[in-house]
Amino acid sequence: MSASVISDFIVPKSSGKAFKVNKGQSLRVIECEGKQVAGLMFFNAHNFKEQFMAEFSGGLSYFQPPDLGRIGSHYRLGELYSKVPYENLMLRVTDNKIGDHFLGTHCTKKTMEILQAPGHRSCSDNFAEALREYGLQLEDIYSPSVLNAFANITIDQKGDGSIQVKPPRSERGDYIEFQAEMDVLVAVSACPDDQSAINDHVCKAIKIQILEEP
């Protein structure tokens, strides 16, 4: 039998939301309109000190079997691990047709200043507001290390190694799905950056579904 949707909601554009996903449940992050990045943070729901570390998970994937790291020509993260010293498997990617994501920082106050938009809303603002309900502040977490789902960001390998930000390739209805390997607290930011090409210069909402096997 297929999994049933037990929770279905919208994270409005340029906002954030935090919620829990239990072990064994699936989290689906869906494009409402297309070409919108979703910043994702993950925490052990019973110990907020244990947090997802994007770069560490990306590095570990180098040592995984090829089917976890690459499908076709696109790199795809297969497993998400918590930071040192925990190093536990938190979630597993179970469906990811687009395969675009950026493992690293989210947009911040400094990012917006560099983009000549001082005072502009950033993912830092979204995460701070979303996590306040759970007693967390950005200074309590390893905040720069997130999974930026649908971000079409590449590194120029033939030139000077500069980062190139392009509009997402994801369209309406595309999604990435995770299976929780522990109870997790999830924080989602519908990225508010309309200054760069990361959201194709138009901010949009993100849809969330939590699914459970009967």
Three-state DSSP class for residue 167: coil
pLDDT per residue of the chain (214 residues) written in tens, 0 to 9 = 689 999 999 999 999 999 999 999 999 999 999 999 999 999 999 999 999 998 788 777 666 655 444 333 344 578 999 999 999 999 999 999 988 998 888 999 999 999 999 999 999 999 999 999 999 999 998 877 899 999 999 877 777 778 889 999 999 999 999 999 999 999 999 999 999 999 999 999 999 999 999 8
Helices assigned H by DSSP within the chain: 54-61, 66-69, 109-114, 123-132
The closest of 155, 52, 143 to 106, measured between CA atoms, is: 143
- How many Å apart are CA 178 and CA 93, to the nearest integer? 4
Q: In angstroms, what CA-CA distances link 183 with 43, 139, 158, 164?
A: 9, 23, 42, 35
Amino acid at 134: Y
Place of tokens 């536990």: 88
Strand order in the sheet with 79-81: 4-11, 206-212, 26-31, 175-180, 89-96, 79-81
Query: Which tokens belong to 163?
Result: 């980062």
pTM: 0.91
- pLDDT (tens digit per residue) in 158-179: 777 788 899 999 999 999 999 9
pLDDT in tens, 40-57: 999 999 999 999 998 788
